[in-house]
Amino acid sequence: MKALLSVSDKTNLVEFASGLREYNVDLVASGGTARALQAAGLPVTTVEEVTSSPEVLDGRVKTLHPLIHAAILARDTDSDRADLAKIGAAMIDIVAVNLYPFQKTVAQRYVTLADAIENIDIGGVALIRAAAKNYQRVAVICDPCDYDLALRDIARHGFVSLQTREVLALKAFAHTAAYDAAIRDYLTGIQSSESPVLTLTLQKVQELRYGENPHQRASLYSYINSCAGPLGGKVLQGKELSYNNLLDLDAAWRAAVQFEQPTIVIVKHLSPCGIASADELPRAFSAAYACDTTSAFGGVIASNWEIDLATVEAMGDLFIECIIAPGFTGDALRRLAKRKNCRLVEMPDLKLEPEYEYRSINRGILRQSVDRGDPAIASWRVVTKQAPSEEQLRALQFAWKAAQHVKSNAIVFARETDGVMATVGIGGGQPNRVDCVRMAAQRAGENARGAVMASDAFFPFADSIQEAVKVGIAAVAQPGGSVRDRDVIAAADEVGIAMMLTGARHFRH
């Protein structure tokens, strides 16, 4: 057998090539791939040696040659073998190729158009498509995660099985489709226009046991390399994540990473039931849990900081479905190992990707940019006679950010206590705003007195302010924009509470 290796991402390249050599597979490689293999002491034939043609145009053209493509496209027939013999080519059985990192290049903050264009791969795409087209004879590998799959097949059968080749070919065509879509999206973006065609290409991460309910089928797909686990993280322990777990983890994680201080977010059925920030994570957990101890049972927890043993101890014997964080200390992991059914997900960073979110509707898909927040606090306006105190302003900022992650009509009561900023009552998901105020008030109880209130959208009537005042709310933040803003502001002035207009709305349907 013969393998052609031409990879931009050299992850596990030497290990894969060494494995191929153990099964007497001859290696042909191009450019930097050949140099990496030679440096590792592996016998390799360069593409130039095969084609008797040097790389040209600074390496832009090296594998685009009949002796390479004929060797890949040749079928296992007498006529094709005769044609190869005429030109002195030998069949290539395995093609391992990945492409110039276009997506990573254009993700850089100050990338130039010239850099982006230079990272559009031509020869690699041609090799992948040729090998995938001829999958009945050729195995194409475009993802380093699949190296072991190919080696296991070779060890078992002496070749890559047809079943595996079919799977790899489908993945290869999906890979080139995604690559082309990324190029199109980038070029469309710099022209500040929307593409008339939307192509979504994702890789299956796993089959789920079921969807929201046992009679529904479900799978998890990822925008990024399939080697990554759920949400791009790594599952450290626990049972397989369910469809509902994944939704709750996503909601909790999106909220947690929006805060700078150590923050805990507790989510149940896609609704935050406690959010708190503090100088120490255990204090943040205690405050978040206190917001709604009933709903927190069986919820998921997200932290934007590493989970330590003190935080795990603060959780006590609370039943927790999942915990997601950028890391766990060794002591925390050892203690959490006793909770065998608690899933732990470790995230590689605090990024939220992609820049757009999609929702399916009947016979279509809605696309929108991710809600990243709104103008700075300096753009907020005090519209009442009473201005908020510095402490109230800090609490309003926190409550406003928390409200962005609550289902509309979102109402958040929050306060600062001994340096800990926390929600004390959350109401959302109701068709009218005043009911959400009542929900938040009921959950807050006496903690509502002296707290602040944030609303994700304007108040259509003064009744929400009147309800908030009954339980002791001292300051309010809301976008403004209602035809009855004057009535709402007057209601606040009548009882002497502060109100600020943020000028931005945060509906979350």
Please say which residue of 175, 190, 205 terminates a domain. 190
Residue 129 included in any domain: yes
Residues 431, 493, single domain; the answer is yes
With residue 332 as reference, give the H or E element that holds it: helix 330-336
3-state secondary structure of 155: helix
Q: Is 508 among the domain residues?
A: no
CB 13 within 8 A of CB 33: yes
Looking at the structure, tell me whether residues 177 and 39 fall in a common domain. Answer: yes
pLDDT at 387: 96
Residue 357 is assigned to a structural domain of this protein:
no
pLDDT of residue 292: 96
Alpha carbon distances (Å) from 285 to 78, 333, 404:
71, 17, 20
Q: 296 and 170 share a domain? A: no
Look at residue 110 and give its three-state secondary structure: coil
Output the domain CATH number for residue 28. 3.40.50.1380
Claim to verify: residue 14 and residue 137 sit in the same structural domain: yes
Helix 485-495 and helix 463-470, axial crossing angle in degrees, nearest 10? 20
Active site residues: 133, 269
- 85 with 140, same domain: the answer is yes
Mean pLDDT by 10 residues, the chain (509 residues): 91 93 92 91 89 70 80 90 88 90 75 81 88 94 92 92 94 87 77 68 86 95 76 93 96 96 97 97 97 96 98 96 97 95 95 88 90 80 96 96 96 97 97 96 96 97 96 97 95 96 93
Tell me which residue range forms the domain holding 149. Answer: 2-190
Preceding omega of 304 cis (within 30 degrees of 0): no
Tokens at 31, concatenated: 């450019």
pTM: 0.74
Residue 468: give its domain's CATH number.
3.40.140.20
Is 341 in the same domain as 383? no
Do the domain assignments include residue 430? yes
Both 130 and 7 in one domain: the answer is yes
Q: Is the peptide bond before 43 cis (omega within 30 degrees of 0)?
A: no
Helices (H) and strands (E) in the chain, counts: 19, 21
Query: Which residues, 6+ apart, have CB-to-CB distance to 476 below 8 Å?
Result: 396, 452, 453, 454, 455, 465, 468, 492, 497, 498, 499, 500
Q: What is the pLDDT of residue 168?
A: 95
- The reply to whether 381 and 478 lie within a common domain is yes
Q: Are strands 411-417 and 452-455 parallel, antiparallel or unpaired?
A: antiparallel
pLDDT in tens, 460-478: 999 999 999 999 999 999 9
| Beta carbons within 10 angstroms of residue 308's beta carbon | 22
| Residue 167 domain flag | yes
Tell whether 178 and 266 lie within a shared domain.
no
Give the integer Cα–Cα distance in Å for 174 and 169: 9
Q: Is 178 domain-assigned? A: yes
Is the domain of 126 the same as that of 271?
A: no
Inside any domain, residue 351: no
Residue 27 has which token pair? 């290696």
Closest listed residue to residue 67, CA positions, set 28, 103, 108, 98 = 28
Q: Mind giving me the DSSP string for 232-247?
A: GSEEEESSPPPHHHHH
Looking at the fold, whether 241 and 325 belong to one and the same domain comes out as yes
Give which of 143, 152, 146, 222 is closest to 176, Cα–Cα: 143
Domain boundary among 190, 221, 254: 190
Asked if 21 and 90 sit in the same domain, the reply is yes
Number of domains in the chain: 3
Give the pLDDT score at 100: 78
Say if 218 falls within a structural domain.
no
